[in-house]
Chain A
Amino acid sequence: MPDATGLELIAQRVRTSVGDEAVTGTIFQRGQATLEVAPQAVHDVLAYLKQGDEEPWTALMSLHGCDYLPDEPRLAVHYQLLSMERTDRLNVRTRMGIGEAHVPTVIDLFPTANYHEREVFDMFGVVFDGHPDMRRILMPEDYEGYPQRRDFPMGGEPVLYTFNEGKYPRWYD
């Protein structure tokens, strides 16, 4: 992990190269560094961190969503970057409200993001603009709602057996 100073240096370099409004903050806690960026700048920041920076972050290991319900803005997308050369990790986080849940896709930079972004769309309803195949991946295509949001109730989903199939006619479409 870059230390707190290293994180500030990265943030400063991103601000200079991508724009002042791209970085909205830095968090360093428990030895893990998080760079917080504006949703619309995600693609530019990750492109800079992958190709332009003097310490490049060449691999995206994980991309996941999160819902910080009482806090605003609620939704977040985390990009877990890895540098195999320096054996170092950097977390890039972007936060957005429920209403404006749009993030540019990073598939062109990291092809591995394909399934991850579909999963975040599936679970949180964050739309990745420019994704070639933006549809649900784990839940059925016709599912309504975004189950990993914290205001989505647990349970209440009918479990289908032969005996109660008739109660839910044409459940499959």
Chain B
Amino acid sequence: MTEQFDPLEVPYRERERSVTMERMGEQPVSGTEALVEGDRHDELFTINIGPHHPATHGVLRLLTTLEGEVVRDVKPIIGYVHTGIEKSCEDQQYWKAITFVERMDYLAYYFNAMAYCMAVETLLDEDVPPRAQYLRVAHMEINRIASHLFALATGALDIGAVTMLWWGCRERDLALDLFEMSSGQRIHTRYFQVGGVIEDIPPGWEKKVREFTKVMPKRLDQYLDLLDRNEIWLRRLKGTGVISQERALELGITGPLLRATGHPWDLRKAMPYSSYEHFEFDVPIGVHGDNYDRFKVRIEEMRESCRIIDQALDGLPEGPWITSNRKVALPPRHELATSMEALIHHFKLVTEGFRVPPGEAYAAIESPRGELGCFVVADGSAKPARVHMRDPSFVNLQSLPEMAKDSLIADFIACVAMLDPILGGIDR
């Protein structure tokens, strides 16, 4: 690429031809010398993986330059499911925008709602009752297990371990049953409200959750029996997609990917929110920062999540599950029949919503994929002036070209699988 290259001038349909690659490096990947020697390709070959490809976990387009079977360059092209959620939120009242932000990272909906509610609560200076904080923790950790399970299931499917897909989805269904029981919805539950959660847990929920946390560690052992001694699985994951800790920090990578490199950064421990400081749990870390460590870190995180859920249920405080501030939270249904004020508050909240004093706040939580930050600007009206999500998938995706460079294309698919990008969150 010698002359000045202005991609804005290139029409949409001619993008493939606009990207030209000169031959990069002559060093074969270690372990593939024989392959490269025996079948030397002198020309580079550019193909599209995606946007419609099951291994891209959504609508992700990877403009991949291959030399034989070796990936020389990857350009992720995103934006195919950009739906303007951030813009739509600006036209919604604060409590209605929760529904929108949940649709961003569609496997970790509780976390999106949590980040957004935390930002709005900071702006309102609203305290969340202890029971609501514990219920939030329990739901988020169940959601973390469900999200990791789905990542593991689809990731294993990409590599060819089809059984893991059924097993992972089977256990994820147990988690979704719990969500259905507590909120009425299996996904996009809208259970978290500004100031607390919408309802107390129903009778019998706790027993169901305990059954779930009891069975889950055994199932994790089964997954390890299935995968961790499988030669194909180990060869695909061990030593592939390595990224160093320094580079991971420079690229802003967070979550299991950073912890796999050995950096014990977990916002639940480092900057606790929603009573996480009350719970005892460990932060699993890896050593090499390769795909195998990412897989193991996720498995161990699920075990730790089970511990947190048990502790949250053991110590679940009695009391209200949503703030008693009637300017923010709806009054209980039974008060509407007897109390004039409750009726007025109900009417005002449903028609106009609550107003938030001007200001701006950034709230960050540890989602299954890393730091999920929500930035909300209030201008004093009942609608947010700006809602921005710092989605971990969006940032983590930047590491994909460096992970996959000079690896085999099969390992590249494993990299995408263990990166676990959620395109709804990337494109928003």
- Which A residues are closer than 8 A to B by beta carbons? 29-32, 34, 58-62, 64, 66-69, 78, 80, 84, 87, 89, 91, 110-112, 114-116, 119, 123, 135-142, 147-148, 150, 152, 154, 172-173
Contacts and interface: CB of A to CB of B under 8 A. Distances in A.
Nearest to B394: A115
B90 A150 contact: yes
Interface of B: 7-8, 10-13, 15, 78-79, 82, 84, 86-88, 90-91, 122-123, 125, 249-254, 265, 270-271, 359-362, 364, 371, 373, 375, 377, 379, 385-386, 388, 390, 394-395, 397-398, 427-428
B12 A138 contact: no
B79 A112 contact: no
A139 B12 CA distance: 12
A154 B88 contact: yes
A-B pairs with lowest CB-CB distance, top 3? A112-B252, A173-B11, A62-B390
B397 A61 contact: no
A61 B371 contact: yes
Contacts of A140: 12, 79
B361 A30 contact: yes
Nearest to B402: A111
A84 to B, nearest CB: 6
Nearest to B123: A30
18 contacts: A61-B364, A62-B390, A66-B360, A66-B377, A68-B377, A69-B385, A84-B270, A111-B398, A112-B250, A112-B251, A112-B395, A115-B395, A115-B398, A138-B78, A141-B15, A148-B86, A154-B87, A154-B91
Contacts of A111: 250-252, 398
Given A62-B390, A69-B385, A154-B88, 18 more contacts: A30-B361, A32-B361, A34-B360, A58-B249, A60-B252, A61-B373, A64-B390, A80-B390, A87-B271, A111-B398, A115-B395, A123-B86, A138-B427, A140-B12, A147-B84, A150-B90, A152-B87, A172-B13
Contact of A173 (B13, B125, B249, B390): B13
Contacts of A141: 7-8, 10, 12, 15
